[in-house]
């Protein structure tokens, strides 16, 4: 049986796939205890962001919602499809569009932290009581600020 993999985008102001994204997020929340956002917050943030989505046949298996400043609001990959490169594909699509890519991850979510660090994200700071339930978070940024400073310095020297 072949699998058709398709990427789609839900632009800001649209929410064609918000129900599927919510269902995937909730599946992960129930099994892993992460992605604990309330439905109203999730739906509102999804509608204001650009959602990058990956479908296998007609089933949503991964998505990332990103604000217009490159901040990743949500990243979710179905546990049954992890290891297929979908998370990396989503981050690559976002990094191609934005000068800066940032996000928060629960300080206890070792899977997410390992994933982001593997892709080159660096922890910039820890934020205590970041989440509604009092959970702590790390603020992460893709790439190195020094490289931006270096590029600016090189431009000024010319």
For the chain, what are the domain ranges?
5-157
| Tens digits of residue pLDDT in 130-145 | 988 888 999 999 976 6
Nearest to 39 by CA among 19, 14, 58: 19
Question: Residues 55-78: what's their mean pLDDT?
Answer: 96
Q: Give the CATH fold of the 5-157 domain.
A: Aminopeptidase (3.40.630)
Predicted confidence (pLDDT) at residue 151 exceeds the cutoff of 60: no
Query: Residue 140's closest CA among 110, 100, 102?
Result: 102
CA distance 156 to 7: 40
Please give the pLDDT value at position 152.
45
pTM equals 0.85
**With bands split at pLDDT 50, 70 and 90, how would you rate the model's confidence at 157?**
low
Under a CB-based contact definition with an 8 Å cutoff, are residues 76 and 28 in contact? yes
Output the pLDDT for position 136: 94
Report which of 72, 71, 109, 119 is spatially closest to residue 63, judged by C-alpha positions: 72
Question: Residue 146: CB partners within 8 Å, gap ≥ 6?
Answer: none
Mind listing the pLDDT tens digit for each residue in 73-121? 999 999 999 999 999 999 999 999 998 999 999 999 999 999 999 999 9
pLDDT at 148: 47
């Amino acid at each position: 049986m072949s699998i058709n993999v398709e990427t789609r985008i839900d632009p800001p102001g649209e929410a064609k796939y918000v129900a599927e994204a919510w269902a995937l997020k909730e599946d992960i929340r129930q099994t892993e205890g992460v992605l604990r956002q309330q439905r109203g917050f999730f739906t509102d943030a999804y509608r204001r962001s650009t959602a990058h989505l990956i479908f296998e046949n007609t089933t949503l298996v991964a998505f990332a919602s990103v604000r217009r400043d490159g901040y990743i609001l949500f990243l979710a990959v179905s546990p049954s499809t992890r290891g297929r490169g979908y998370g990396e594909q989503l981050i690559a699509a976002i990094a191609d569009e934005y000068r800066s890519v940032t996000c928060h991850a629960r300080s206890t979510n070792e899977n997410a932290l390992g994933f982001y660090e593997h892709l080159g994200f660096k922890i910039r700071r820890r934020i205590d009581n970041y989440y509604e339930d009092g959970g702590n978070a790390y603020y992460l940024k893709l790439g190195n600020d020094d490289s931006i400073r270096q590029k600016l310095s090189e431009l000024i020297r010319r």
